Structure 1
């Protein structure tokens, strides 16, 4: 290549190619296609052709010397400039990544006249994507194959700056920019695959089916919403004009896995100090993975197929018993995870494309329990061979997506997408006999009666289902790129529990000798029998149903190229959410929620080497289906009391029954009916939403390095949780002239836990005891809660050396602060999974001293990754992280003082749920921090020359130094009352995984 002026070399090459291949942070819209743009001679034609599929587009260069081709499928392209049908210049190997822009400019300078053809083959000049304004990381299949990283969506997402691992009690969860693990959105080929029940985690797919994966950490445009954390966008591989076949076998042997740490009782001055709480040093894990793929043309240049599948099998064996406690015994868990992906791409013509994707993600899990005996003298266990129980789980199902892209004119592009997904959620107990009645015995007798292993079971037909689509229109007006769109996503979940067997269970109890004629405690007026006072209660329980959430929105956005160097993105989105109970009635609705979005990109030097950017926006989030399960579902729980004359010796069922009382009694007045949907939540309930602003820059150092910085500020403006406080409604009723009985009814109605917006005024509709709803408007002061607070500030710094055919490396450092009195939709302090219904806001006393560093606060986080191609045959790689620990708490009982006597007697939770210890305030996060989390993963790969580089042998070692760091711990400091130490205070809940090795063989044909 020959250059006349070094100042125009970046414009003369396909500068963004390296950015695409290296997966560096780009600033783009969050769709699943890419853009090629640039400058050229006005009046010429730009022809863009995908060499792999034959797809081609032609666009005209406008009078200002600009061109832009949008909505391009990911892939590698050849870009040609033509004048009057004759080729003027060409750029080859131009990579298009999802939601990113690639600058391919042709100039009229003398350099261009000598540069008729540029072939970019393995060379790179680092640049920034000046065409976009948000913040993301893009990981290509080529980069993922070369890196040492876990084969999961979460493992890759954690490589992005500002992303930290969520509490281990949320499997697969991650926190983006200080948010809780339920505030993220996941997409496969443009369709949302976020867990519809809890919003934690997502559908996955064969790892090698991923073509590109983008991790968006903030600032995305108006076309997407419904996330206040981050967005993970995955595009699957597609076929081309050449048939290709591949496969992978990997093995993680238990023999090379370091010993798991036992969980030990902490040193709290109790007899249990230093003893084993959970024995983990005998846990063994063996894992295999087998994958194959095929792709190619069914009709050359027109119809293409990609199909890939993998089976992951894992066996885990471990002792779960504590010394002297053999109830759990030996547990074995067998995982069988068959997954497959298939994609058809039909290029009907160069102007009309049709894509159909199918994904199957199923996890089958068999859990078995075996008895054992413990010898305290020898400190040994003897395992039994007879199975004592277990469960068979099957979770997951199929996903189908169809997408149409029409290039209606050079300036008008239409895309339409539709998808549907059905996921089973089955849990079958091993050895369950549905004809057997569960029987328990609370009497103080020598041989209490026990029949059956399961008192309650999950619905046998539980499932989660989604359906949705979107329509987008893009209109290129030269300096303005207008975008309009509408999208909808509906989800449905059937979840719940019911009493096992015939739908009821028996429990033997006793009032005691000589108690005849006295009231059975909690018996609803039933009287104790004579004699020895023994009686039996028949218990019925059912909770759940089929619930749904409907979400839709529309947007308009203008991407205005103010000058050659300034891009302004102006957008606004309207969000709408409806949550339905099991009777298909709306119990919460949020309509016409306006979310403005603003972004700015400044190409300072005009050569894509230095970019300043800023963005600001508002983002909304709906409640998932599990909120209805707890807060809007009908719950049946009744007890009916009987005297009895005998007990069946085989079944344990009582005989000779005589009723005690007037039939079934329940504290639930509706006897299984769903609560009035108007009473479930505060009137006019606002959704969970957040505001965000960010500013940053990216710059290049010579031809080898890129560096940059971003400052981001996030503020949670509104949240939804439940409150369960009797007092505000009672006091309101007394102040408004109600009788004691009427005020008590309203107070009890509010105490049943109603959804509300914490930290502000709320109006409730409460049952006055007669079935009539009374509107109770309560100010922030009357409710007594502090203002909601969750603020996140982060400074992300990075330095990257993109891949040049030999090596690449990237280092990120994040300095952040996550501060406030509520984590968001979850409560990691205690691992609570009740989304939007945490313990936090149940009554004001729980929020005293709650302001402080939140569970997802990691003050310092360093991430580094890279690989080096030593020779064409040998490659080494490494991934490392160093993170400061999460803040710790000491939670205890509400202070036992005279002024708190009434509250403790009538309203306080009888447990260590308050930010007090030893009757003293212990503000959130004030008990220190967990240790720093240090991790190093390394790998080596060998592609023998004799196999023509189509065969690769690999070894990866994870957590090389076996740094098993505690991830979380018990944060209760008291048990049994104020000032009573808890012998498990500070006990570790989980550690990071021990060192293990993964062997793999990959082949490409």
Structure 2
């Protein structure tokens, strides 16, 4: 029995999973890991990195506990000593990102029986962790087919799906609720919170995807966190190169789709690309054991080709701006470390536009050239100080820059014209981009993090502050700076400005002028404290609180939204109920707040002009430019008044436009889970998740003055507030035409004026409160890599329900984060509860690799998921004459001038069924071989092996006017990427 126990203990130590009887919590900062355990009381424990020479020694306390905080991730030799004499042989331990390796050295002096399972000495079951996270190293990713970007890595985690606008949805959240960190620097886009700064795949070292339960150190997210660290230099000089090639000859053509009349709806057969990336990298010591460098330059050549959906314009692009990045690490001594990260992900794309005849496959003359610039330079300086054996700190300061620049050659002379009567809503004017934008975003980030060990309590506390500044200039192209959109209609239809379509008119033009210029700043700050208490040898409790503040400023530099004292408590537990370090029950409950994006500052609090004028369409005028034929609308009589209610071109008094007591958007989350090992390499787990979103900050049109002026017409206009709650606004309180004080309007029951068919005021109504709940069960099975094979599979059952997707709304294809169309009037979400757009009820994810021999490895990934719900949006309601998105469809008497005579049918969320299941299967074959001092790796990966091209999104609008059926309803607007292959060749010396 004694022998069996020792063998089991030795194996646990080798894998880094065995726990001391009083081992401390598994907690680490967002750029490194930590190591803890138990040894004889008073013994000294030393960790040493063979790669960098970093060495640190601590003395165990009276109970035998030891701990190393803030350890750079990597492999260490762990050695115990007593009275100056080594005890046992050194043990190899891997410290992974965001985790704590727990190793019980006990009193053992003979570790000859230790069996290491391959090189994986990462904790499969961390019995002191309460969060839900997935760690994936670069080595693991090299064995399987995975697209070479951080978001694709995140999609491997349970409960994460691809959302619209190029983002990812974590646990039912919208795509604008996530945060991304590289080496501790927040690189999330703060303008819309969709997208982030990135580096080449080879520059990364390890990823951690946090899907829930993360500690108070992290905030400003109600979705998930992608946490990554980059490569670093060591004492060994290394250099190499990696070529990644995606030829269009190895890509399948996209499927062409046609509308119900047989006309082109989405032409994709010419959509292909050639992509070649070559990175060269070098690393090594500048001063051995002291100062190290890692540097990379990547040459890029990206040449995309595509047509517009109608197949009438051919686009040929080119982007060849390279990436550069570097990392410097200075081990000043064993108590003080300094690291510097810098990179540029600036990218420029030039796209030539050509007239195209899809039927003949012939390309005509060049019609325009578009220019796009994104990305920028980023840097961060981080200090780590081990001030005493029990007290450590980290300090970071950095800057993150992202450009948003888009323009074209024809911008000065050509207006944008879109014909929404035709499949694919083609641009028929001589510009293909609707908005000229010149934006630059800059984040200045600073944070301090501390850890203080006090007996059985580990205190963690810190603060962080970000100043996010957006310089912005945007407007529509053309001499009039107006965007002309042509819509089908029928006489008698009421338009969004209140105008009524006259007899004989079956199409109208909306001419929209939208402009804004200025500098806009937001300051986000927070401080936190957390206690991690080892109550018993097998039970750990953690409790913390994060206090946040958001300060948004207008174009004049004055604060117009300030929310502070946002208290986010978080509690968790982890119970090693068997006491053997191989199984745990864990849980947590927490609150998470979401900041307001800078786009709101620009569009709500700048010199913002949004003017919409409606005209009867009297036909199209053809004209020639660059040898191509284009069209512009012939404007007839104006229909209704000019509408500039959302912006008249001035920096307005925001007291009358923004709720003076606005509440933040936040989410509460509860997770309960179980995880265990069986055998030496297998682990499995299950967890239940419940999330509930509270509040929304969005724009609402306040039209009722009943609370002020006894029902006199007027209203306040569009305001930012919490739909379904009280808003405090500065306005005219005595009806003399002068704003003179504040008034509270309970938007759960008031704020929208109701009139009968004769125009008589009959009362008012309010808005439904925003609701979003997410329930999920996640099942996971993992087999650790042992130099032969590895396997990971997860199944997620989830249900995302409510009436609001989040700050981003993909229901209507409207990507203005924080200014969605969900609450513009009370009828958009009325009786609209149901399955939300990110409700993928079933998800199955699999990845695995098998080494055929020492040289050949095969890998595979599978992402299978059920479809998203399809809605059937109407454009009216049975309560008033408003023509706007709703869940009501007119089915009879739809042209009646008296809206009360129309017959409507309620069609709740999901009325149109669901999109089909999708199966994305990838396969790879890797060849590796060493030649003297060189290591060669060749990998061929094929993505979407089955070449499925099923619809991911469809047109949810059932009507284009009251009673006018949308002929494109349920037709696809987004599809799976066709099959393509990628060849990677790398040589390292």
Q: Report the TM-score when normalising by structure 2.
A: 0.86
2:673 matched to 1:679? no
Deviations 1:435-460 (A, max 9, x none): x69799x9xxxxxxx99859986354
In structure 2, the residue matched to 1:34 is: 33
SS of aligned partner of 1:944: strand
Give the counterpart of 2:366 among 368, 387, 390.
387
Q: Is the 8 A contact 1:458 1:495 kept in 2?
A: no
Change (3 A) 1:614 1:668: closer
1:819-834 residue pairs with structure 2 within 5 A? 819-834=801-816
Partner of 1:956: 941
1:744 aligned partner: 713
Q: Does 1:365 find its partner at 2:332?
A: no
User: Aligned residue for 1:398?
Assistant: 377
Q: 1:891/1:102 Cα in 2 relative to 1: closer, same or farther (>3 Å)?
A: same
- Gapped runs of 5+ residues in structure 1? 21-25, 267-271, 443-449, 508-521, 523-537, 641-648, 652-664
1:810-838 Cα offsets, whole Å, 9 max, x none, are 00010111010101111111221111111
In the TM superposition, what are the counterparts of 1:930-945 in structure 2 within 5 Å?
A: 930-944=915-929
**Aligned pair in 2 of structure 1 residues 357, 713: CA closer, same or farther (>3 Å)?**
same
Q: 1:874 maps to what in 2?
A: 856
Is 1:304 the counterpart of 2:272? The answer is no
1:482 — aligned with what? 459
Instruction: Flag structure 2 segments of 5+ consecutive residues without an equivalent.
Output: 20-24, 420-427, 485-496, 498-510, 614-622, 626-641, 752-765, 892-903
Kept after mapping to 1: 8 A contact 2:10/2:113: no
Measure the CA separation in 1 of the matches of 2:818 and 2:609.
Answer: 23
Correspondence 1:355 to 2:350: no
Tell me if structure 1 keeps the 8 A contact 2:523–2:551: yes
Preserved contact between residue 213 and residue 590 of structure 2 (Cα < 8 Å)? yes
Of 686, 690, 712, which aligns to 2:667?
690
CA offset digits 1:827-854 (Å, max 9, x no partner): 1112211111111111111112210000
Q: Contact 1:456 / 1:497 at 8 angstroms: preserved in 2?
A: no
| SS in structure 2 of the partner of residue 786 of structure 1 | coil
Tell me whether 625-634 or 931-940 shows the greater mean CA deviation. Answer: 625-634
CA deviation map 1:143-179 (0-9, x unaligned)? 1222210001111000001101102xx12x0000110
The yes-or-no answer on 1:251 pairing with 2:245 is yes
Q: Distance in 2 between matches of 1:117 and 1:539?
A: 76
1:891-910 equivalence runs, <5 A: 891-895=873-877, 900=879, 903-904=880-881, 907-909=882-884
Question: Is the CA contact 2:610–2:646 (under 8 Å) kept in the aligned structure 1?
Answer: no
Among 219, 235, 260, the residue aligned to 1:225: 219
- The correspondence of residues 406-555 of structure 1 with structure 2, limited to 5 A, is 406-430=385-409, 458-460=436-438, 462-498=439-475, 542-555=515-528
Q: Is residue 852–residue 926 contact of structure 1 (8 Å, CA) maintained in 2?
A: no
Residue aligned with 1:144, SS: helix
Match of 2:207 among 213, 232, 235: 213
| Separation in structure 2 between the aligned mates of residue 762 and residue 212 of structure 1, nearest angstrom | 46
Aligned to 1:114: 110
Q: Secondary structure at the match of 1:673?
A: coil
Partner of 2:593: 620
Tell me which residue corresponds to 1:513.
none
Contact 1:636/1:671, CA 8 A, preserved across alignment: yes
Per the TM alignment, residue 888 of structure 1 is displaced from its structure 2 partner at its CA by 0.8
Mapped to 2, the partners of 1:15 and 1:760 lie a distance apart of 57
Answer with 815-824 or 330-339: which moved more. 330-339
CA contact (8 A) 1:422 1:464 kept: yes
Does 2:91 correspond to 1:80?
Answer: no
User: Residue 660 of structure 1 corresponds to which residue in structure 2?
Assistant: none
State whether structure 2 residue 719 is matched by structure 1 residue 754: yes
1:19, 1:557 → 2: CA distance?
25
CA contact (8 A) 1:27 1:136 kept: no
The CA distance in 2 between the partners of 1:248 and 1:607, in whole Å, is: 44
Contact 1:18 1:124 in 2 (8 A): no
CA distance in 1, matches of 2:872, 2:181: 39
User: What secondary structure does 1:54 align onto?
Assistant: coil
Aligned partner of residue 713 in structure 2, secondary structure: helix
**Residues 472 and 483 of structure 1 are in contact (CA less than 8 Å); yes or no, is this contact kept in structure 2?**
yes
Following superposition, the deviation at residue 788 of structure 1 comes to: 2.0
- How many Å separate the matches in 2 of 1:455 and 1:953? 40
- Deviation of the 1:312 alpha carbon: 3.4
Kept in 1: contact 2:130–2:213 (CA 8 A): yes
- SS of equivalent residue, structure 1 residue 823: coil
TM-score relative to the length of structure 1: 0.85
Does the 8 Å CA contact 1:89/1:116 hold for their aligned counterparts?
no
2:890 & 2:984 partners in 1: Cα distance?
A: 51
Secondary structure of residue in 1 paired with 2:838? coil
Other-structure match for 1:781 = 749
User: Corresponding residue for 1:655?
Assistant: none
Q: Select 2:700's aligned residue among 723, 740, 750.
A: 723
- Helix, strand or coil at the partner of 2:385: strand
Task: Tell me if 1:734 matches 2:716.
Answer: no
The 3-state SS of whatever aligns with 2:392 is: strand
Contact 1:541 1:638 in 2 (8 A): yes
- Distance in structure 2 (CA, Å) of the matches to 1:48 and 1:696: 32
Q: What whole-Å deviation, never above 9, does each CA across 1:478-501 have from its counterpart, x for those lacking one?
A: 311111101001111122324668
Q: Distance in 2 between matches of 1:838 and 1:100?
A: 38
Residue in structure 2 matched with residue 282 of structure 1 by the alignment: 270
Deviations 1:171-216 (A, max 9, x none): 2x00001100000011111111100210111100011111111100
Q: Does 2:700 match 1:707?
A: no
Asked if structure 2 preserves the Cα contact closer than 8 Å seen for 1:873 and 1:949, the reply is no
**How many residue pairs are counted as aligned between the two chains?**
898
**Distance change >3 Å, CA 992–CA 438, structure 1 → 2:** closer
Matches within 5 A, 1:64-79: 64-79=63-78
Task: Please point out which of 908, 922, 933 is paired with 1:923.
Answer: 908
